Amino acid sequence: MKNTTDLMLRTSEAALALGCSTDTLKRKRESQGGFLEAGFHYFYGDCTNSPIIWNVQRCREAFHKRGVTARKALEEAKK
């Protein structure tokens, strides 16, 4: 198995590796109002029809960070 810190995948493969849909992954891009940043979490090819390539580990870390923050906020709201 590849080292996941360097795992760069196309959208459909990255979504599968992250356990989310391709639409969710695309919606989380900063260009769509999300938190995943171009040039860090994902990369465009040199042509308009090139696939977006995702850094799976960086995306996983960003999803985790957002999840932890959301859970903390929920726990605080319950108090």
Query: pLDDT of 70-79, one tens digit each?
Result: 999 988 888 7
44: CB partners within 8 A, 6+ apart: 38, 50, 52
Mean pLDDT of the 48-72 span: 95
- Point out the least confidently predicted range of 3-12, 28-37, 41-50, 58-67: 3-12
- pTM comes to 0.84
Looking at the DSSP bridge assignments, the partners of residue 36 are 29
Average pLDDT over residues 3-18: 87
3 state SS of 49: coil
Average pLDDT, the chain: 92
55 has pLDDT over 80: yes
pLDDT at position 76 is 87
